[in-house]
Amino acid sequence: MAFVTPLIYLSTIFVFFFGQLLRIEIKSISFPVIDIFISIIFCLNIFQQIKSKSLKVKNKYLLYFLVFAWLGLFLNYFRYHFELIKPILYLFRLTFLLSFFIFPPKIEEKIKKIFYLAIFSNIIFGLIQYLIWPNFTYFKALNWDPHLYRLVSTFFDPTFTALIYLFLIIVVFLNKKFPLRKIVLAISYLALVLTYSRSSYLSFLVAFTFIAYQKRSLKIFFLSFLLIISTIFLLPRFEGEGTKLERTSSISAKIENYKEGFNLFLKAPIVGHGYNNLFYVRQIDNQNSHANSGFDGSLMTVLTTSGICGLILFVLGLKKIFIRGSLVIKTILISVLFHSLFANSLLYPWVLLFFIFL
């Protein structure tokens, strides 16, 4: 077992690097390979804690939320009579991911360092992709959003990619002993800004405003603010809507997305429509789109799928993580919460998986 545990974590890191490039399709169901490793780590963690008699609930609110989500799913099955396979698989994945907060696993420092190295390697890969293959519009045929002249890396989405890179920036900035710290920060920031993700720019500013507040340092705030402002003016603008930071089409789309979510919430305000049953209750033209499983806001997704009761339990669980967390975890949590107002990033598997390596 001493050999198996690090091997599983190293394999997970390897698969994490390749993001959406590694996917499996069985009949009509497509899922990333990382889901398999998430389930393996879950089983390994529970087995080890039971064996060592250390299995103890560290976040009861998230546990209650999961129980409520499972009950809500099956209650809604009798309401909609939908196919259970997809929602159950989504809920299993969420259960495995949130279990890492309920029963936190112990990971060696060496494994964590390798994980950070893998993220930085992905950053290098992303920069190469941006320089050599900036046209991602061909992937629209595979139901991915078309992106032009934006860094998307292996996650196929500039918004989520930028957020993961922001996490590394926060980790490195707060660890003054990190190897080649200034170089890593500079390259990571360059990759982040080339995603042209406005929500990630704002999350960067929110994260460093929080760090400045915690450290009582106006210098950190002003430097981060000037850096973002300079970035906005210096970034090159190419053809296509994606590199226009002043674009308003996506803002209008998000407003409509929130309206749709709120209207769905009003139809089932207490227990929601079931996690993740949005495939069957939303009216979307492209049923194969990868955006069908959530709204442009993680809390809105939780609200519509598990109702007001589920949302309260979920938020209380996040509060518990924040109170008990280190400055790194608190900063990352605040940044992803802000980011999740514009994208379903808080429920993104790679985002939640990042936390267990902290």
In the prediction, which pLDDT does 248 show? 65
In DSSP notation, 30-46 reads EEETHHHHHHHHHHHHH
For residue 135, what are the CA distances in angstroms to 131, 235, 240, 242, 251?
10, 18, 10, 11, 23
The answer to whether the CB of 19 falls within 8 A of the CB of 156 is yes
Residue 285 in tokens = 């033209």
Cα 19 from Cα 32, distance rounded (Å):
8
Q: pLDDT, tens digit, for every residue of 331-351?
A: 999 999 999 999 999 999 999
What is the tally of helices (H) and strands (E) in the chain? 14, 2
Residues 6+ apart with CB under 8 A from 253: 296
Sequence ranges of the domains in the chain: 4-248+288-356
Q: pLDDT, tens digit, for every residue of 161-201?
A: 999 999 999 999 999 999 999 999 999 999 999 999 999 99
The answer to whether the CB of 62 falls within 8 A of the CB of 91 is no
Sign of CA dihedral 294, 244, 205, 127: positive
pLDDT in tens, the chain (358 residues): 567 899 999 999 999 999 999 998 877 778 899 999 999 999 999 999 999 999 999 999 999 999 999 999 888 888 777 777 888 888 999 999 999 999 999 999 999 999 999 999 999 999 999 999 888 777 666 666 778 889 999 999 999 999 999 999 999 999 999 999 999 999 999 999 999 999 999 999 999 999 999 999 999 999 999 999 999 999 887 766 656 776 666 777 888 888 888 888 898 899 888 887 777 777 555 555 555 566 888 999 999 999 999 999 999 999 999 999 999 999 999 999 999 999 999 999 999 999 989 8
Phi then psi for residue 208, to 5 deg, are -80, -20
Contacts 24+ apart (CB under 8 A), 111-115: 111/6, 111/9, 111/10, 111/13, 111/357, 112/357, 112/358, 114/10, 114/13, 115/13, 115/16, 115/357
Residue 115 in tokens = 């994980």
Residues 6+ apart with CB under 8 A from 27: none
In the prediction, which pLDDT does 284 show? 58
In the prediction, which pLDDT does 274 show? 84
The answer to whether the CB of 269 falls within 8 A of the CB of 307 is yes
